[in-house]
Every structure is written in structure tokens, then in C-alpha cells.
Structure 1
Amino acid sequence: MPARTVGIKDVAAAAGVSVTTVSHVLNDVPHTRTSEETKERIRTAAEALGYRPNRLARGLRTRTSEMVGLVTEEIATTPYAGQIILGAQEAATSRNLALAIINASLNRELEVGPEEIRSLLERHVDGIIYATVFHDEVVPPAEMRKSPSVLIGARDATGEIPSVVPDERAGAASVVDMLAGRGHRRIAFLASSVDVPATRGRAVGYAEAMASAGLDTSGLIVEGDSEAGGGYAAALAVLNRPKDVRPTAVFCYNDRMAMGAYRAVAELGLRIPDDVSIVGFDDQAPLPRSLFPALTTVALPHYDMGAWALNTLADQIAGHAENRLLASHPTLLACPIVAGDSVSAPRA
């Protein structure tokens, strides 16, 4: 015989309270007059009995599914998708929501594909999160504008959907501030040749911080492909100079370019960080800790973006979010420096 399902009446009997009181406590109904002692007794009884709420019945009452959808572009090949999913999943658990995840094809046309959105809405999700690879302005389908929605890594061209992006500009500026604080005066920047928002944000952050520190950038900015080969060529170009004009620090657009810069430094007979300090960006595992010495880099806040998006979506669903205010401009999350062993003060 199958085991009998524990119901809310069983919890009420075990705790010595009414069914209504149990319902209010287990559903976190606000402004109830139940004491903390009684709440704790109810929760203890529910756990001891193995009570699990009937989400289907609750959904029929509230006309919600208590499920939200997360669409991410290229889950299998994007190295950062896992942290976005983890941040959203843990936030969903804390908000008593289930998370449905769908993979979408990489979209370079800056349009969010409607097929995945419709697939989720047909399953009656309460809201949708869409995570993009390219951090740019996108055009969401009408279905997203009619449902609680949040974008990760992109801005809504219509200005209706809240979004969250990394603060690339401030992250780059913090690298220059850190290097200047160590005494570096000639700080080179290996920039990406691909025109995307991350390229522009990091370049602007570098230039502004250099200007604020009273440092000249002439001859210190070299563009290259944002892979190891591009970093190698760019680093050779900027480091193959007499010592009195050679940069003492090189800030790379990303960790892959930094990997190429390591090779260039070795070929020139220089040492990291004794002769030149190297800093990357992205904290793309496992690169920073695989290099020797370990690379100092800047982390993109993927976990925090996933958690922010889920919590913002949950607030929308509950009717608590100031949607127009949030959608008026992207929310920027900090990109912290992750210290390695590739930075030191310049030698005299």
C-alpha cells in the first residue's frame, strides 16, 4: 500500500493550532498575529511529518505556476552560463520558485528569439529571464513585454524590461587605480578589435582612470584580436622597447589576451611580475589559476546577475517592483579584482 500523503490538517493537529494558522505560517502570509513561538512549532511539526505543500492546488487557487523560465544563449558553449544559472537557481529556491531552463541559439542580430519565450509561456511560467551573450541593446518579442520579464547582459531597446549588466567601465578603471597605486606610471592597454559594449566600456574605463591619475596613454594602447594570438602580438608590439620607455604594467582586455601576453613576455626574456605586471579581465576559469604566476584578473558578476534577475522577476510577479524605474536604465553590478601573483610594484 502506498504511504498516505501528509496534509495540512495533520500539521495543524500535531502543532495544536487551526488549519488556517498553519496555512498562513507555511505560506508566509504577512501581517498575521501568530507568535514566533507558534510559527516555530508549526514549522517543526511540518518538517517532522515530512509535509510538502501541494503546489498544483496552490497554483489553482492563486492562478500561478510558481515556476519561472530562464533562457540562456548557448548554455553548452558559453563558459559563464553556469554561474548565471546557479545564481538564479539559488535565488529561486529562496523565493519558493521552480526554475525551467531553455537553451537558445546565439543571436548576433540583437533580437531575442520568440520561439523559446512562447515555449515557456505555453507552460504557464509566471515570468521570464533572458540571458544574452552580447551585452548590447536588444529588441525583445512582444510576449516578453506582456509578461513579467528581466534581461541579463543586455538593454531593452523599448525601455520596458528591467536589465542587469556588468559595470565594465568601473571594472577597468579599478585596474588602473590598483596599478597606479602600486607605483606604475606606464600602463599599457591591450584592447580588443571587436566593437562590442565590453570593448568600449573597458577602453573608456582605462582612459578615464589614466587621465584621473595624470598618466599619459600615448603609444600605450594596442588593438588586437581578443584571443591568445592577438594578445601575444599586441604585447610584443608594446613591450619590445627600451627599458626606459617600456610599460611596467600591461592591462589586457581579457584573460585569453593575457595568456598570449605571458608568452610574449617569456620570449622577450622578461619576468612576471618582476619586469612587467600583467592583469586580465573576465576571470574565465580555469585560465587565471592555470597560468604561472597566477593571473590577477577582474571577475564578471555572473552569479550576482543571475540572483538579481531572479529576485527582480519575483518582485515583479508579486507586484512589488518599480518596473518603469528599473527599465529606464540597466542596473550595473560591480566587477571585483581577483588577486593573483602577476602584479607587483615596478622595479627601480
Structure 2
Amino acid sequence: MITMREIAKRTGVSVSTVSLVMNHHDEGRVNPQTAAMVRETAHKLGYKVNPLARSLRTNSTRILGFISDEVATTPFAGGMILGAQTAASQLGYMLITVSTDGGVREDDEIDALKRYGVDGFLYAEMSNRVTDVPSKLLDYPTVLADATDRNGTIPSVVPDEFSIGYDATSYLVKAGCQRIAYVGCDAPGVEQAQSGRLAGYQAALRDGGMPYDESLVTNVTEPKTAVESVHDLFDRERPDGFFCFNDARTLYVYETAARHGLTIGKDISVVGVDHHRVFAETLYPALTTVELPHFEMGYWAAVKLVSLIDAQAVTNLKPPTTTAAIPPIDANTPKIHCTLLKKGSVALH
């Protein structure tokens, strides 16, 4: 087993210098060229940090706890967890993920993670909402992902809901659509997303020289009534463009267009939100959609959390290539500008 002492001997520096470098405490203490040489030598020798020894020495386990009440049931959890895990790994941390019911079991899971000695917590929702942070987390470094602290004291990262609605609708305006409908969502728990996307839709119409017309808006939840509502909107208003709250709602537009003998991407233009894999790989023509930044939120949240734990800025970190830009880590409550993925469902005139 390779030790710090052997790395020190190979590089001609002290064991304490090697320790600073391998434990990411070298900034401002060790010459950057020396630190790079130590890391390169450690890598060539196959040095592995002993997490148990380090935790006993530093009173830090370098473990992050990831908590959500929907981790096991949402198709987007994987992206957020992968983002957090990628950042944690780059920074020498490990991620433990637990799924809760948001009630008593949540407190039990938090207590269990504390017994494991986690250094901090990521608390995630799977749809953007204002949330009450569990009181058991308030004495630990904590960062929220896809949620905003109701009291405004905990760092958080969410999608820019306004820009989602604005960019999607602006694309339909530029494509030449004259009557653009919005198929929204009135289900509980999505108020942040619904209000932001609707406001973006209204602003894009205004900036495109089109009046906002309430008769072109329908908010739907239950599938049967949703199909009927979109069908009625077709008959009543004859829209030629649709911005939908999410990809699932675009299915109602595709179905109703087929009933009317209209072709998506030719007679009718549609833009969704999510880049949900099922719809992205199933609908034809392929759906133009705004991708939600689940990986980016998880990545930012984990890096932010480590910066709180270490009480210093995280530097010398090379973020992975992502669809949306990852916000600066020194921001406290950033909103990520999501990316519009242009495919075949919009007719370009």
C-alpha cells in the first residue's frame, strides 16, 4: 500500500506537504507547481486515500447525504443524483442517497445519516417548489436542489421558470405562429413552475407584438378531461402553435392534431418542457423541448455544499460539459437558464 511518506520521498517534499495536497488544503500553502507534482506522483504510484484514517484525523468523513421524498419514483432523480455524485467524487467526497416519505421516516433517515457522520446534506425536491427545510438539518451545512427555502436562509438552486416559458414561446413566434396556446398545469405542488412559465409565455407574446388571450390558455391535470380540454381548444380557437407545461401534455396535442387530420411540425407547432426520455424517444416528429437542468442542479448543489463544509471557495475544479451553464458557486440562490432543444415538432415558415 502506497503511503504519504513514500510520495514525500519520491517528490522530495515533507509528509505534511503531501498531506495538505492530498486532503485538498494546499491552496495558499503549497506552491502550485509542487502541488501538481505531488498529485501526479500520487496518481502514478496508485495512492488511495484511507477514508477511515482521514476521518479519525480530521473529524470529517467526507460523506454527503442526499435526501428526497421522490428519489425512487421520479424519472429525473437519476440526473440530479448523477450530478451530485460527479461533483462529490471530483472533490473527494462520497454520496449516500436516501428516499423518504417526507414525514416521520424523513426524520429517521436524517438521524441515520448523522450517525454515519455525514458532513452535510443535499435536500432535493423533484419539482421546483418552496419548501420548509426539516429542523433536523438546520445545524448542518445544507443546500437545496430544485427547491427554495421558505425562510430564505438556505442556499438553493432551481430552474429559471420564466426563461423556460419565454424561450419556448419566442421560438414559436419566430417560427411564424400566429395563435399560440398554452397548455398548463393546475396540479398542487407545481405553482412555482406554472406561474413562472405562464409569465414567460405572456412576456414573449408581448415582445413578439401579440396580445395575451386567456381563451388560448387551458390548465389540465386528469388525462380524460385534459384530452377533452385540448380538443375543445382546437375547435374553438384554431391555434397553430402550442407551448406545453411539460412533455406529457404535448401528447394531448399530438393526439388531437391527428384527430383533426393535422400534421405536427407542418400544420401545428409544439414545444414541451422536460426532455423526458419516454416522449423524446417515442413521439414523431421528434419533440422540441426545454431540457430541465437536473444534472446541473445536482452538480452545483454538491459543490456549493462542499464549499460550506470546507468554509472556503472550491477552486481548481473542472466542471463537466453540460447542456445548461452551471452557475457560479459563490451565488447563493441561482436560477439556471435552461436549454431549448430544437427538433422536428416546430414548423419553420
Measured against the shorter chain, the TM-score band is 0.7 to 0.9
Counterparts of 1:158 and 1:112 in 2: how far apart (Å)? 23
Contact 1:226 1:254 in 2 (8 A): no
Counterpart among 121, 124, 134 of residue 128 in structure 1: 121
What displacement does 1:120 show? 1.1
Counterpart among 132, 155, 160 of residue 153 in structure 2: 160
2:42 maps to 1:46: yes
Contact 1:190 1:221 in 2 (8 A): yes
What displacement does 1:25 show? 2.9
Identity %: 34
1:80-105, Cα deviation, whole Å (9 max, x unpaired): 00000000000111111111111112
Q: Relative to structure 1, is the Cα distance of residues 113 and 319 closer, same or farther in structure 2, using a 3 angstrom cutoff?
A: same
Task: Name the stretch that deviates more: 151-160 or 125-134.
Answer: 151-160
Counterpart among 301, 307, 317 of residue 309 in structure 1: 301
Counterpart among 84, 88, 101 of residue 84 in structure 2: 88
Counterpart among 111, 114, 117 of residue 110 in structure 2: 117
Q: How does 1:321-336 map to 2 (within 5 A)?
A: 330-336=333-339
Contact 1:132 1:153 in 2 (8 A): yes
Q: Which residue of 1 aligns with 2:319?
A: none
What displacement does 1:65 show? 1.0
Q: Which residue of 1 aligns with 2:72?
A: 76
Q: How does 1:30-41 map to 2 (within 5 A)?
A: 30-34=27-31, 36=33, 38-41=34-37
What displacement does 1:286 show? 2.1
Q: Which residue of 1 aligns with 2:278?
A: 286
Task: Give the AA of the match of 1:279.
Answer: V
What displacement does 1:165 show? 1.3
Q: Relative to structure 1, is the Cα distance of residues 193 and 187 closer, same or farther in structure 2, using a 3 angstrom cutoff?
A: same
TM-score (norm: length of structure 2): 0.87
Q: How does 1:184-199 map to 2 (within 5 A)?
A: 184-195=177-188, 196=190, 197-199=192-194
Task: Give the AA of the match of 2:290.
Answer: V
Task: Give the AA of the match of 1:63.
Answer: N
Contact 2:77 2:126 in 1 (8 A): no
Counterparts of 1:246 and 1:97 in 2: how far apart (Å)? 55
Contact 1:88 1:307 in 2 (8 A): yes
Q: Which residue of 1 aligns with 2:212?
A: 217
Task: Give the AA of the match of 2:69.
Answer: E
Counterparts of 2:291 and 2:137 in 1: how far apart (Å)? 30
Q: Which runs of 5+ in 1 are unaligned?
A: none
Task: Give the AA of the match of 2:193.
Answer: A
Contact 1:226 1:253 in 2 (8 A): no
Contact 2:230 2:256 in 1 (8 A): yes
What displacement does 1:141 show? 2.2
Q: Relative to structure 1, is the Cα distance of residues 41 and 167 closer, same or farther in structure 2, using a 3 angstrom cutoff?
A: closer
SS of the aligned residue for 2:243 comes to strand
Counterparts of 1:151 and 1:33 in 2: how far apart (Å)? 33
Counterparts of 1:20 and 1:30 in 2: how far apart (Å)? 14
Counterpart among 202, 209, 216 of residue 207 in structure 1: 202
Contact 2:120 2:305 in 1 (8 A): yes
Counterparts of 2:119 and 2:40 in 1: how far apart (Å)? 30
SS of the aligned residue for 1:133 comes to strand
Task: Give the AA of the match of 2:307.
Answer: D
Counterparts of 2:294 and 2:222 in 1: how far apart (Å)? 20
Q: Which runs of 5+ in 2 are unaligned?
A: 314-329
RMSD: 2.3
What displacement does 1:272 show? 1.2
2:96 maps to 1:100: yes
What displacement does 1:237 show? 1.5
